[in-house]
Amino acid sequence: MKKNLFLLLLLIAFQINAQVLKLNDLKYLVDSNIEKADTYILSKGYDFFENTTQNENCTSILWAYKRNSNNNQSSNFLGKDICSEGFKYIFYQTSSRDIYNLVRDEVKKDGFKFVNQQTGKNGEIKYTYSKNKYEVTMFAGLSNDNRNNYYISMVSKN
């Protein structure tokens, strides 16, 4: 009985951690081609959500973690832009302040330097950090209906 309970708790802990993406995950994803990124993201429990063309040079692919098919809400979204001009970009949105703080702490511990702070068009404060060819922009905000908080980490590489 104790062994079964331990295995159940271990499985639950693994599933909870599987959806959490850390700074190294985001850097790996920004460096990966779409096939490797898709395989990695799916292994974390995310599902394909949508594919949109932004212009003739850039396509965005979006994945969601346990998306509610009735209202398209999800605790986490992840997007990858594929642009022909070589710019690489990952967008990670979560509803968890703890996950956001984890990534922000990792950015600081990894030696990223604070570059600037800006106010976004919806009043959020954006913080930008840089290291080598990577740039990380982080911000928090409220959904359009002001009911749900969201936290965003964006990693780009030139």
Question: Long-range contacts for 127-133 (Cβ within 8 Å, ≥24 apart)?
Answer: 133/157, 133/158
Residues forming beta bridges with residue 47, ordered by sequence position: 64
Residue 30 corresponds to which tokens in the numbers above?
A: 């920004």
Contact 149, 141 (CB under 8 A): yes
What are the structural domain ranges in the chain?
A: 2-157
**8 pLDDT higher than 60:** no
Contact 41, 78 (CB under 8 A): yes
Distance in angstroms (rounded) separating the CA atoms of residues 80 and 155: 10
pLDDT, position 14: 36
pLDDT, position 17: 46
Q: What digits encode the pLDDT tens for the residues 53-68?
A: 877 778 888 899 988 7
DSSP string covering 3-57: HHHHHHHHHHHHHHHHT---HHHHHHHHHS-HHHHHHHHHHTTEEEEEEEEEETT
pLDDT, position 98: 94
pTM of this structure: 0.81
